[in-house]
Amino acid sequence: MLNQRLQQKLLQKLSPQQVLLMRLLQLPAIALEQRIKEEMIENPALEETAEEEDISDIEDLPTDEEKAKDDDEQTESEEQDKENEFELEDYLEDDEIPYYKTADPNRNPDQEERDIPFVSAVSFQDYLISQLGLQLLDDRQYQIGLTIVGNLDDSGYLQRIPSAIVDDLAFSQNLVVSEEEVEQALAVIQGLDPAGVGARNLQECLLLQLKRKPLTPPTQTAIDLLNQCFDDFSRKHYDKIILKMKITEQELKLALEEIRKLNPKPGNSMVEVTKQSISIVPEFFIQNLDGTLELSLNNQFIPELTISQDYLDMLKTYSETGKSHQQNKEAAAFIRQKVEKGKWFIDAIRQRQITLFTTMKAIMEYQKAYFLTGDETRLRPMTLKNIAQIVRMDISTISRVANSKYVQTSFGTFLLKTLFSEVMQNTSGEEISTREIKKILSDCIEKEEKLKPFTDEELVDILKEKGYSIARRTVAKYREQLDIPVARLRKQL
Q: Is the peptide bond before 266 cis (omega within 30 degrees of 0)?
A: no
Would 406 be classed as within a structural domain?
no
Same domain, 152 and 226: yes
Q: Is 376 a residue whose pLDDT tops 70?
A: yes
Same domain, 324 and 206: no
Q: Report residue 242's pLDDT band, with 50, 70 and 90 as the boundaries.
A: very high
Would 61 be classed as within a structural domain?
yes
Same domain, 267 and 181: yes
- Residue 437: per-residue pLDDT: 82
Q: What is the CATH number of the domain that holds 445?
A: 1.10.10.60
Strands 284-289, 406-409: parallel, antiparallel or unpaired by DSSP?
A: parallel
- Residue 212: per-residue pLDDT: 93
Would 353 be classed as within a structural domain?
no
Last residue of one domain, picked from the residues 316, 345, 374: 345
Q: Report residue 70's pLDDT band, with 50, 70 and 90 as the boundaries.
A: very low
Are the C-beta atoms of residues 345 and 305 closer than 8 Å to each other?
yes
Residue-by-residue DSSP string for 322-389: ---SHHHHHHHHHHHHHHHHHHHHHHHHHHHHHHHHHHHHHHHHHTHHHHHH--GGGPPP--HHHHHH
Would 395 be classed as within a structural domain?
no
Would 364 be classed as within a structural domain?
no
Would 486 be classed as within a structural domain?
yes
Backbone angles phi, psi at 425, to 5 degrees: -120, 140
Q: Which of 237, 282, 308 is nearest to 29 (CA)?
A: 282
- Residue 200: per-residue pLDDT: 94
The partner residues of 152 in beta bridges, in order of sequence, read 158
Question: For residue 73, what are the CA distances in angstroms to 66, 68, 70, 320, 437?
Answer: 15, 10, 9, 16, 85
Region 410-439: mean pLDDT is: 78
> 93: buried, middle or exposed (CB in 10 Å: 19+, 13-18, 0-12)?
middle
Backbone angles phi, psi at 231, to 5 degrees: -65, -45
Same domain, 131 and 205: yes
- Residue 86: per-residue pLDDT: 47
pLDDT in tens, 155-190: 899 989 999 999 999 998 889 999 999 999 999 999
Are the C-beta atoms of residues 194 and 185 closer than 8 Å to each other?
no
Are the C-beta atoms of residues 131 and 197 closer than 8 Å to each other?
no
| pTM, 2 dp | 0.56
Q: Which of 280, 263, 272, 315 is nearest to 412 (CA)?
A: 280
Are the C-beta atoms of residues 264 and 206 closer than 8 Å to each other?
yes
Residue-by-residue DSSP string for 245-303: HT--HHHHHHHHHHHHTS-S-TTHHHHHHHHTTS----SEEEEEETTEEEEEE--TTS-
Same domain, 265 and 131: yes
Same domain, 315 and 257: no
Domains in the chain, number: 3
Would 322 be classed as within a structural domain?
yes
Last residue of one domain, picked from the residues 255, 271, 287: 271
Same domain, 86 and 135: no
Separation of alpha carbons 435 and 315, rounded Å:
58
Residues shown for the chain? 493
Would 450 be classed as within a structural domain?
yes
Q: Is 56 a residue whose pLDDT tops 50?
A: no
Last residue of one domain, picked from the residues 321, 345, 369: 345
pLDDT in tens, 385-418: 999 999 999 998 999 888 888 999 988 888 888 8
Are the C-beta atoms of residues 283 and 28 closer than 8 Å to each other?
yes
Same domain, 190 and 265: yes
Same domain, 141 and 53: no
Same domain, 142 and 266: yes
What is the average pLDDT score of the chain?
80
Same domain, 91 and 159: no
Same domain, 54 and 161: no
Which of residues 134 and 62 earns the better pLDDT score?
Answer: 134
For residue 460, the enclosing domain spans 423-490
Q: Report residue 59's pLDDT band, with 50, 70 and 90 as the boundaries.
A: very low
- Residue 361: per-residue pLDDT: 94
